[in-house]
Amino acid sequence: MASVTVPAPLSTSTFTPALKPPHGIVSNPDHPASLAHLATITIAICIPLTTVFFALRSYVRFWVKRTFTFEDVLCIMLWSGTVAYCAIMRNTMSHGGGMHLWDITPARAHEAAYWFNVCAIEYGVMIGLAKIAVLWLYRRVFSPHRWSAFDITIVSLIAIIFFFYAVTSMVKIFECWPRNKIWDKSLPGKCVQIKWILNISGGFNTLTDWIILLLPIHAVSRLQMDPLKKVLVFLAFTFGMCAPIFATVGFAVRIQNSGNKDVSWKQPEILLWGAGELASSNLIICFPELAALFRPATWSRRSTPRKPGASTLRGWSEPRSSRKAVSHPYITKSLMSATSNGNDGQYTELEDVGNNVHIERAHSVRRLAETRD
């Protein structure tokens, strides 16, 4: 019978930690404390939740409204990027991230630093994209007048956010030269103070999240509706302020952990809050579109032919050369734009005589009469 060799556990006498443990703490390389279980729980919540709402939003946009815009491209990129971020975060935990430096070897610490750098770059790109996607949504819904003061504010924020996260992402990529020095500090070369980059990025992230939160408050306050409905609309467009709260807590964690030498434990701690912020940003973009699922007309029009309205009948009676281009019926209109009920102006009267249909104009009272033999 063949024998199986079981590797012996690491002996504390032969184990060399990446960092000397603090006074009163003993290295435990065989059973180290880890944040991996928290990462697993975070991923188990974030990915299914964002995927379900992303699928529902895609159904409304592509099947019900039959429209596809740049906003949808941003939403697809954000959802796929969030899934990729969660996968990289979990891989970071599998390579020594989320463990104390005195419980892992120097080689393991290098692996953890490498994957943390990859995850930090992914987070910077995705959180910038999330903010731009939310602002793009706000511009479509709350800003009907292009280049108004409110519209210029949104466009300016988009430009500032794009520039900031583009610069900080490049700094994270070339944090050290040569780049290998990012995860192996023993190599010769030069590095920037990444802790300051992370703190500045966290502060900017928190500030812009709260500014973005104020935009729908300003816009919704101008809507003519009941206070309760205003609150519901506001919550639908901000997801209960989850994103700013996650950003604020993440920034506090950055400040608290700044300068701590146990980077393999402290830095991955930030990644958990980043996952929550990205997930809440996905939900902010998805929620406003889901209102269409609760309208009876959404389901009835899939199987019931639509009766032609007055504007449709009017278009049939007009000469082809004088017809005006009709906007796409499924494109979501701005909440702030004024709508006309068409009480004034011309209408079309439909008269059915025998097997022939006769269409004529009228100019006073709106009515639709049918006369049958």
Q: Give the confidence band of 258 by pLDDT, cuts at 50, 70, 90.
A: confident
Q: Give the confidence band of 299 by pLDDT, cuts at 50, 70, 90.
A: low
Residue 1 confidence (pLDDT) above 60: no
Q: How far apart are the C-alpha atoms of 72 and 74, rounded to whole Å?
A: 5
pLDDT at 318: 61
pLDDT at 222: 73
Q: Give the confidence band of 266 by pLDDT, cuts at 50, 70, 90.
A: confident
Of 102 and 342, the structure prediction assigns the larger pLDDT to: 102
CA geometry: angle 78, 79, 81, nearest 5 deg:
65
Residue 292 confidence (pLDDT) above 90: no
pLDDT at 370: 46
Q: How far apart are the C-alpha atoms of 286 and 300, rounded to whole Å?
A: 23
Percent of the chain at pLDDT > 70 equals 74
Percent of the chain at pLDDT > 90 equals 38
Q: What is the pLDDT of residues 329-365, one digit of tens each?
A: 333 445 544 333 344 333 333 334 444 444 444 444 3
pLDDT at 192: 87
pLDDT at 228: 77
Q: How far apart are the C-alpha atoms of 312 and 306, rounded to whole Å?
A: 11
As a whole number, mean pLDDT of residues 255-262 equals 82
Residue 203: burial class (beta carbons within 10 Å; 0-12, 13-18, 19+): middle
Q: Give the confidence band of 290 by pLDDT, cuts at 50, 70, 90.
A: confident
pLDDT at 14: 80
The token pair that represents 52 in the structure block: 């379900």
Query: Of 27-41, 62-76, 232-246, 248-262, which range is least confident?
Result: 232-246
Domains (range + CATH), the chain: 36-297 (1.20.1070), 307-362 (no CATH)
Q: What is the pLDDT of residues 108-162, one digit of tens each?
A: 999 999 999 999 999 999 999 999 999 998 888 888 778 888 899 999 999 999 9
Mean residue pLDDT across the chain: 78
As a whole number, mean pLDDT of residues 26-40 equals 91
Q: How far apart are the C-alpha atoms of 81 and 140, rounded to whole Å?
A: 23
pLDDT at 144: 75
pLDDT at 131: 93
Q: How far apart are the C-alpha atoms of 267 and 165, rounded to whole Å?
A: 19
CA distances 201 to 82, 85, 91, 204, Å, are 19, 17, 23, 5
Helix (H) or strand (E) holding 359: strand 356-362
Q: Give the confidence band of 246 by pLDDT, cuts at 50, 70, 90.
A: confident
Of 302 and 203, the structure prediction assigns the larger pLDDT to: 203
pLDDT at 148: 86
Q: Which residues contact 344 (CB under 8 A, 6 or more apart)?
A: none
As a whole number, mean pLDDT of residues 79-98 equals 94
Q: What is the pLDDT of residues 192-235, one digit of tens each?
A: 887 888 888 889 999 998 888 888 777 777 777 777 777 777 77
